[in-house]
Each structure stands twice: as C-alpha cells, then as structure tokens.
Structure 1
Amino acid sequence: MPMEPLPDLASLSLAEVARLVEEQRLPPVERWNPTHCGDSEMRIARDGTWFHQGSPIGRPAMVRLFSTILRREPDGRYVLVTPVEKLDIEVEDAPFVAVEMKVEGEGRERRLGFRLNTGDLVGAGPDHALRFEQRGDGPHPYLHVRGGLEALLARPLYYELAELALAEDEAAPGIWSNGVFFPMDAA
C-alpha cells in the first residue's frame, strides 16, 4: 500500500495542519495484545535515525511504516506491535524528533505546529503538551505525540521557542499554543 506524499509544512496553515492530524489513520496498536515474541533487533538513535541489526534503515517509507506500529508499554519499554506479534525496540531518547515548526499568532493566541522526522504533523496544545527537561548537557524539549510517545525537539526549534518565550510578557518563561501555557523551566 503506497503512502501519501508528505505535504510541505510551510505551505499549510495551522488549521490545515490540524485537519491533516485529525485525518491520520493509525493502526489501533493500543487494542492489540499479542504474545511478546522477542527483540526486533531495531534501535532508534537519539537523532531519530532508525537502525536494524546495526545498519540505518535508508527508506523513509519503511521508517514511517514502522513508526505507525510503535507503542510504549506501561513499564516504559517500547515495542513494535501487530495483531500477532510484539517485539522490543531500543529507543535511545525519544522515538521521534520534531524537525520543523510553524508558528501562527502571538501570545495567548499563538498556535504551534510541528513536523516530525517521520513526516507526522502534531499541533502543540491540550492533547500534545510541550515539556522541558533540564539535564547536565542543557535543556531537552519534548512534544507529546500519542500514547506516551514523545518527540525530542531539534535544537534549532528549541532556540526558536526560547526566542518567542523571551519576547512574551509572562512572569515565568514559557510558550503559548492552542490556549495552553507551557512553562520552559524544567520540571
């Protein structure tokens, strides 16, 4: 089954992004409970590169396909799941990377849309929270994608968010999107 070509984020309004997000048809992985079959011999590197048996998966369509059957288990493990099998997959940080951002509006009226390395589109807001984690090597910003799966925001996107937050007139640094304020100080 061929996958649809990816739309250009810059050419879309955030209303169009929201519509496309609503239209996404993902497999119902949360309803599939097959027996655990072992290890997939796959890994998702911190930079979002997918590997199988140590070699990068070079076909973006394959990565997109695998990303649709990715699930996070209650114990925090990541698995690839189908109706008949469940295989572990190693994730170094977050399974996705937000690589592009679109901003519309200002302050409380601002809306943020993100494109992930898999081509998925996600709008930050009540169902897709932004969070900021402080580590020894600096801040790590994340966007909730679905079902406990997150995207690490690429460093340039974090700098864009920080610039927007510094321009705001808020008591604490943070960013508004779709009516929700996301504080940027690490929790």
Structure 2
Amino acid sequence: MTHDPNGAPPGGVLERLTAALGAEAGRRGPPPVERWNPDYCGEIPLRIAADGTWHYNGSPITRPALVKLFSTILRRDPDGRTVLVTPVERVGIEVEDAAFLAVEMAVEGEGEDRVIAFRTNLDDVVPLDDAHPLRVERDRDGGFKPYIAVRHGLWARITRALAYDLVALCEEREEAGERWFGLAAGGRFHRLARSTELS
C-alpha cells in the first residue's frame, strides 16, 4: 500500500475497509480483531467526538449502519493508539473522549447479587462485571466522569443522566483500612473513589 510523504493513507480508505469487512460478513459474532495484526498504515481523518458522533474529513457520518460496522473493527492498541483494523490494514483514528457512550442502564436485584448492564450508543450491551469494570476520571470542573470497559481496550463514557442514576445505587464501605464510595454488583463491590476524595 502506498502513502503520501506525510504518511497519510490514500483516498478511499473507508471503502477499502468496508470491502475488507465483506469477507468477514459470513462469520458469526464480532470480528476477531484481537487476532489481526497487519502493518500500521498511518492515520485517517476519522474522529469520534465527545458526544459520540463519528466524523470523516470534518463531516459527520450520517449512516448509522456504517458507523456500527466500523465500530466492530475498532480497538485500542498497546501503544494507546485507537485503530480500525482488518486482516490487511490498520489505521489510526482520533477519539476525543471515549469510543462509546453508555446511554441506557438496566438494573435487577440488590446488593452484590445486583445485575447491572449498559447499552451503548452503538447498541453494545455491556454487563458490569470483572471483565467490564468501571473507572472514574475528574472533569475540568472537578466533577467525576464514570466509564465502563466495553471491549478491546475501549471504554464507554456513562452519560451524565445515567451517572446520577448510578450514584443513587452507590454506598460507602471500608475495604483494606480505607473508606470507599462504590457500587455492589456482579458479586462484588466496585470501588469508584476514596471517600476522602469526595469531601
């Protein structure tokens, strides 16, 4: 594959990625992107905005089916780069915040027997469990932004409305000699922040 002197891939990259996925269309389940390791082919002008909108060459991608298709070949590489990957090509993209948004939450049961699952803006359903932990970051105003792991090193930012619902389920517990604010679900207590960080 040829490139320009600036390292940008040639035009038609989305078409090439779509064509490469065509060979995988008959497979059951998500593409095995964790097993694909083609050469890195540079960055493309694709950006996932903080509001979850996908943009290509500065314009929103208006075909939801195309966005969902590309989301299935998205992963985060060990070097921290977010890439679209097929068996023959790997290209870097920009992610402003998180690759996904968690837009819906389902809760069943109470305490550590509680089951919580999230639906992303691209219709992934993610349970809160050891394989899909929560993490919390501080925003610019000092508030907390929660995220849940989705797949392949990618995260979904939990929307503000859902974050309030999540906080309503939280409690304080003492663990390892420290007070923690967190959430009981999936058979364990998920620590979100030390109680001292909230005061």
Assess if the C-alpha contact under 8 Å between 1:131 and 1:182 holds in 2: no
Length-normalised TM-score, structure 1: 0.82
The 5-angstrom pairing of residues 147-166 of structure 1 reads 147-165=152-170
The 5-angstrom pairing of residues 143-182 of structure 1 reads 143-165=148-170, 168=171, 170-171=173-174, 172-182=180-190
Residue 109 of structure 1 and its aligned partner are, at CA, apart by: 1.3
CA deviation digits over 1:10-53, x for unaligned, max 9? xxxxxxxxxxxxxx811111111111222221000111111111
What does residue 45 of structure 1 align with?
A: 49
Q: Which has the larger radius of gyration?
A: 2
Aligned AA (2:132): H
CA distance in 1, matches of 2:48, 2:172: 38
Aligned partner of 1:90 among 79, 83, 94: 94
Q: Size of the alignment, in residue pairs? A: 163
Residues 35 and 183 from structure 1, CA distance in 2 versus in 1: closer, same or farther, beyond 3 angstroms? Answer: same
Residues 170 and 71 from structure 1, CA distance in 2 versus in 1: closer, same or farther, beyond 3 angstroms? Answer: same
Q: Unmatched 5+ residue regions in structure 2? A: 1-27, 175-179
What does residue 10 of structure 2 align with?
A: none
Assess if the C-alpha contact under 8 Å between 1:42 and 1:50 holds in 2: yes
Aligned partner of 1:135 among 139, 152, 157: 139
Residue 169 of structure 1 and its aligned partner are, at CA, apart by: 6.2
Q: Percent identity?
A: 54
SS at the partner of 2:104? strand
What does residue 183 of structure 1 align with?
A: 191
Assess if the C-alpha contact under 8 Å between 2:172 and 2:182 holds in 1: no
CA deviation digits over 1:42-67, x for unaligned, max 9? 00011111111111111111111000
Assess if the C-alpha contact under 8 Å between 1:34 and 1:86 holds in 2: yes
CA distance in 1, matches of 2:40, 2:116: 38
- Runs of 4+, deviation exceeding 4 Å: none
Aligned partner of 1:70 among 66, 69, 74: 74
CA deviation digits over 1:82-121, x for unaligned, max 9? 0111111100111011000000011111111100011110
CA distance in 1, matches of 2:172, 2:79: 40
Aligned partner of 2:112 among 108, 112, 129: 108
Aligned AA (1:34): P
Q: Unmatched 5+ residue regions in structure 1? A: 1-23
CA distance in 2, matches of 1:34, 1:175: 40
Aligned partner of 1:121 among 118, 125, 148: 125
CA distance in 2, matches of 1:31, 1:76: 17
Length-normalised TM-score, structure 2: 0.77
Residue 177 of structure 1 and its aligned partner are, at CA, apart by: 1.8
Assess if the C-alpha contact under 8 Å between 2:84 and 2:93 holds in 1: yes
